[in-house]
Structure 1
Amino acid sequence: MLGKTAGEVLIELLIEWGVDHIYGMPGDSINSIMEPLRKAKDKIRFIQVRHEEAGALAAAAYAKLTGKLGVCMAIAGPGAIHLLNGLYDAKLDRAPVLAITGQVETDLLGTDYFQEVNLERMFDDVAVYNQRIMSAEQLPAVVNQAIRSAYAKKGVAVLTIPDDIPRFEVKREARRTSSLFARPQILPQAADLLQAVRILEQARKPVILAGRGAREASQPLIEFAEKIAAPIVLTLPGKGTIPDEHPLCLGGLGLIGTKPAYDAMREADTLVMVGTSFPFTGFLPEGARTIHIDTDPAQIGKRYPVDAGLAGDARQTLNWLARELPVRSDRSFLARCQREMKQWWKKMDREEAQSDVPIKPQRVIRALQQVVQDDAVLSVDVGNVTVWMARHFRMSRQQMVISSWLATLGCGLPGAIAGKIAYPGKQVIAVCGDGGFAMLMSDFVTAVKYQLPIVVVVLNNHKIAMIKFEQEVMGNVEFATDLHNPNFARFADICGGVGFRVEKPEELLPALQQAVSEKKPCIIDVLVDAREAPMPAKVTFAQAAGYAKHLLKELFEEGRPEVPVP
């Protein structure tokens, strides 16, 4: 470490922590970091993005997919500001990310200099660790603490580095620390476990709600559910925890969920929440006794009252409960839920088989299902496309899916780029709406530049369709939701990728089959029906009344109601 510049030490420490690539865009206030990064390019790659937001979203996606640290970098001022959306995405999905930002030189701080922004204040809300490097000697210890904090607190660490600091030599008085994070294994208190056992022994209609925190506990979750005869409902971040067509699975919950899941929650007398702090509490049962399992005690009881809080690792906790509990003999509630789920899948089959033009979005998901490999990585953007994928795509346990709990439009493409970098041997597919894809479509050339053969499926209805539906359910006439789109397939060709334009249902499968066999990044531009509303599995009276009001407004104000075709 001695005799090296702070910039060289920074890159060495990142390599020690196992970082092998960084997303970013070079610029003046980080050029003193770019030079040592260039010298270490055989050990750590710099992935040049076309927008810093895409870099931050890719870093967040990489962290969600792998559990490893995602790293992004930007210049002071505008570059750092562009990182914010992707960093908030990481914060809400509890993904370990390190953001390195430039800053004006130390002797210029406080002079209102060119591109000077108070970055510590700006990042204060998003970060679990947020420090400005004050000297070369301070840098090594602070870098280690930033990365350790990102892992330990499952969040964003930000290092702001004035442009002169990386050029200074790290002298003998520099504090030495370790590039090490010790991962704990946590088991709940014995009294809390026994309280959970007492609740479960009295349960007659138990339901499990599993979130992202249950992903690494799939088999214990299944064994526990079998023991207590409980169906499993999945949150959106928890999709893929168990296969969608597993006999215990009732699919998702909420506006994107299934009717069997909705009905099961309405009847449940006992709820077991595993690795989720589900915010849409209106879909949870009223009056049910509740057990909440989470490694973070602060999440337990955060949004919904609980009778037993189990602060511990999902795998260990579920294994313990499954060992201690007897096999439930009365399985009538589970059996009824399973019969309803079989009927639900038949309904989905009918929707997916429609041969209308414009193409129904559900038909696109069915065709996609036919070409996706068992261990594929799926990056799902935000909007109606989230509903169609959550409801219709039937995941296997080996597949991985990521989206955005922040619900930030544009996350699909950066997620696919990160997915292909993380798992170069796997099939990687982004599923986007036209609104989301257009936000960061410039970074399709990043996939081309780095020869990342991803497939981007764009559901193109020339609408911000979810907002259109929301306006109509409120009883309003849709406004400002039309989109003027380019031909996304031609855009792919111009960028150096491969584009497919699909306008008829029979063109879908051949286009997808060709795209997944290509060695270049591909875009499949599918024209879908903008009138296909993502109706909830259970329509409330207020939603029906609001939609009827919207139709009347269009009739009297516009003279042409757009009544969906049955």
Structure 2
Amino acid sequence: MFKQTAGEKLIELLIEWGVDHIYGMPGDSINSIIEPLRKAQDKIKFIQVRHEEAGALAAAAYAKLTGKIGVCTAIAGPGAIHLLNGLYDAKLDKVPVLAITGQVETDLIGTDFFQEVNLDRLFDDVAVYNQRIMSAEQLPAVVNQAIRTAYVKRGVSVLTIPDDVPRFEVGKEAHVTSSFIVKQAVLPLQEDLQQAKVLIEKAERPIILAGRGTHGIRETLLSFAEKIAAPIVLTLPGKGAIPDKHPYCLGGLGLIGTKAAYEAMHETDLLIMIGTSFPFTGFLPEKTVTIQIDIDPYQIGKRYPVDVGLAGEARLTLEWLKENVSENANRDFLEKSQERMNKWWSKLEHQEENDSVPIKPQRVISDLQKVASDDAVLSVDVGNVTVWMARHFHMTNQKFIISSWLATLGCGLPGAIAGKIAYPDKQVFAVCGDGGFGMTMNDFVTAVKYNLPMVVIVLNNHKIAMIKFEQEVMGNIEFGTDLVNPNFAKYADACGGIGYRVEHPEELLPALQQAVGQRKPCIIDVVVDADEAPMPAKIKFSQAAGYTKHMLKALFEEGKLDLPPL
């Protein structure tokens, strides 16, 4: 009678859980897993990446885009270490990811053998479930528990498997458990809902701060906002929850936000936070009645004082409130906010029409808007590019992903790879700065190898431009921010893709139009203005003073400013 090996059982269980691909690099301590994976390629694909960090970032991005668990694998030692950055991205953005790592054989553990690393300790902080599998009989139950925990706790599970274990046969005494999770509907306590109802009905100038937890409940959110006459401000992970140009939308908050949102936050008498634990509390009202809605009670009041906490699902909670609160007939605050937002859009449109050389980054985003379909996937890297996309790309029904809490450079390209695998029939864009793209650009060949047509837009200013701006705001002269870049368009051609080099505004839209029609991965290398600072919507005195101090230092060093005679 045929008996399964533990490696074969592992792959079978992954398929039962609905996993259809794994990102990774093969190697000696996981070859006993790679072989059964090879045999199951008709059901579960192995996506070979060129760096394990890109694999982990892609797994995290896949989970953000689909809600399904992302899976990555690596050998012991160096491979497992490389996974950490992508796994921390998944941890901080609270998405389910499973990492399967190799380890030296069981009888060699603890002997300081070649590539042996204490993986139990290495992954202890990043994981919600972290287990070394020590027998074939243990494996089935532990795999199920790992995946179940990742889903339920919205985090990272790590399975470390010594190289000999997958070759052992799974005997009758193996622990058998279930390969599924059970969902539940969570509504806050009635007494908390009643308190929130009273506060909402008292408010004259309510405002909603909507986070990632509001994705997928657009109509519920908008109907609730309409009933209480509340404009909606979006966190960066919340971007796309409602259309950016919807009459109730005031855009983002903070350094990437809008002036209309900033001013409304300082005038509101009731803040309703939904599906967000907003970290930049300096942009929130100093003393305002606050209601916070979150599925996780731990997040309520964690960073900002609240008067009422509603621990429950956003959809169910808003449906109850919409049905039970009285309609707010006073639309003055809403209409005032809408007027401000219209002025803000006019200001941004003026920036986007600039045809100077080097190209203004705002112009790039405006032209991207013209070619991006309504259901495109946008994987946005970290840096100034985040600001330009947050302000200037008007979301409708597109999917928008970013490393929002870890804010790790290099997430753009792996996110686009995951996006094309998840949605092969949709347009996929990676929008990157040259600093971010340079960190993971070697995996452009992964997109070529697996024939994943996508468009990578690189805002190339030969700078780590956001750090340059931060140094200047501190009153310092920029240092360590210059980059020496290759011609990214020629790099695309060398990899087997298609490259476009854009140096003048009139070349930009034609390049984008051509790229979206190609059947290969493309890179559009756009030379942009390095001195275009991502100024916040509302400039504080300390920022202005620091920037002035920087300018004076720079002029002195360049000999362009003489000291007055004694």
State the TM bucket, normalised to the shorter chain.
over 0.9
User: What secondary structure sits across from 2:532 in the alignment?
Assistant: coil
Distance 2:479 2:100 in 1: 40
SS in 1 for 2:140: helix
Name the amino acid aligned to 1:269: D
| C-alpha separation in 2, matches of 1:144 and 1:35 | 21
Distance 1:558 1:541 in 2: 26
Q: Give the CA deviation at 1:326.
A: 1.4
Alignment partners' CA distance in 1, 2:51 and 2:215: 31
1:564 corresponding residue in structure 2: none
Q: Is the 8 A contact 1:445 1:495 kept in 2?
A: yes
What are the Cα deviations for residues 260-307 of structure 1, in whole angstroms up to 9, with x where unaligned?
Answer: 000000111100000000000000011111110010010011100111
Is 1:171 the counterpart of 2:171? The answer is: yes
How far, CA to CA, are the matches of 2:454 and 2:201 in structure 1? 49
**Alignment deviations for residues 432-484 of structure 1 (CA, whole Å, 9 cap, x no partner):** 00000000000000000000001000000000000000000000000010000
Aligned to 1:158: 158
Give the 5 Å matches for 1:49-448.
49-396=49-396, 398-405=397-404, 406-448=406-448
Q: 1:399 is matched by which residue type in structure 2?
A: Q
Change (3 A) 1:553 1:151: same
Residue segments in structure 2 that go unaligned for 5+ positions in a row? 562-566
Q: Please state how far the C-alpha of 1:529 moved relative to its aligned partner.
A: 0.1
**How far off is 1:106 after superposition?**
0.3
Asked whether the equivalents of residues 2 and 170 of structure 1 are also in contact (C-alpha less than 8 Å), the reply is no
SS in 1 for 2:419: helix
Q: State the alpha-carbon separation in 2 of the partners of residues 32 and 454 from structure 1.
A: 33
3-state SS in 2 of match to 1:277: coil
User: How far apart, in 2, do the equivalents of 1:486 and 1:319 lie?
Assistant: 53
Match of 1:538 in 2: 538
- 1:452 is paired with a residue whose SS is coil
Q: Kindly provide the CA deviation profile for residues 489-526 of structure 1, in whole angstroms up to 9, marking residues without a partner as x.
A: 00000000000000000000000000000000000000
Task: Provide Cα deviations, 1:221-277, integer angstroms capped at 9, x if missing partner.
Answer: 100100000000000000000000000000000000000000000111100000000
**SS in structure 2 at match of 1:170:** coil
* Distance in 2, Cα, partners of 1:165 & 1:20: 23
After superposition, where does 1:463-502 map in structure 2 within 5 Å?
Answer: 463-502=463-502
Distance 2:381 2:183 in 1: 31
Aligned to 1:330, what secondary structure does the other structure show? coil
Q: CA deviation at 1:204?
A: 1.0
Provide the secondary structure at the position in 2 that maps to 1:264: helix
Do the aligned partners of residues 560 and 160 (structure 1) sit closer, same or farther apart at CA in structure 2, a change above 3 Å counting? farther
Gaps of 5+ in 1: 562-566
Counterpart CA distance in 2 for 1:293 and 1:512 is 41
Report deviation, 1:560.
5.4
Report the number of matched residues.
Answer: 560
Deviations 1:179-238 (A, max 9, x none): 011111110000000000000011011110000001121111100100000000000000
Taking the aligned partners of 2:2 and 2:549, their CA distance within structure 1 comes to: 73
- The alpha-carbon deviation at position 559 of structure 1 amounts to 2.7
How far apart in 2 are the matches of 1:513 and 1:556? 46
Question: Where does structure 1 differ by over 3 angstroms across 4 or more consecutive aligned residues?
Answer: none
Q: Give the 3-state SS of the residue equivalent to 2:363 in structure 1.
A: helix
When residues 97 and 560 of structure 1 are mapped into structure 2, their CA distance, relative to the original with a 3 A threshold, is farther
In structure 2, give the amino acid aligned to 1:286.
E
Give, in angstroms, the shift of residue 558 of structure 1.
2.9
Provide the C-alpha distance between the structure 2 equivalents of 1:494 and 1:527, rounded to a whole number of angstroms.
20
Secondary structure of residue in 2 paired with 1:416: helix
- 1:330-385 CA-to-partner distances (Å, cap 9, x unmatched) read 11000000000000000000000000100000000000000000000000000000
Structure 1 match to 2:449:
449
3-state DSSP of counterpart to 2:285: coil
CA shift, 1:557, in A, is: 2.0
Aligned partner of residue 192 in structure 1, secondary structure:
helix
How far apart are the structure 1 equivalents of 2:2 and 2:326?
62
Question: Quick one: distance in 2 between partners of 1:272 and 1:219?
Answer: 17
8 Å contact kept, 1:2–1:172: no
Which position in structure 1 is the counterpart of 2:509? 509
Contact 1:52 1:82 in 2 (8 A): yes
CA distance in 2, matches of 1:2, 1:57: 38
Specify the code of the residue in structure 2 equivalent to 1:18.
G
Q: Distance in 2 between matches of 1:45 and 1:518?
A: 24
Letter in 2 for 1:541: F
1:14 maps to what in 2?
14
1:2 CA displacement:
7.5
What secondary structure sits across from 1:267 in the alignment?
coil
* Secondary structure at the counterpart of residue 287 of structure 2: coil
- d(CA) in 1 for partners of 2:558, 2:275: 48
What displacement does 1:29 show?
0.2
Q: Which amino acid aligns with 2:400?
A: V
Residues 2, 171 of structure 1: 8 Å contact kept: no
**2:553 equivalent in structure 1:** 553
Contact 1:383 1:466 in 2 (8 A): yes
Q: Secondary structure at the match of 1:102?
A: strand
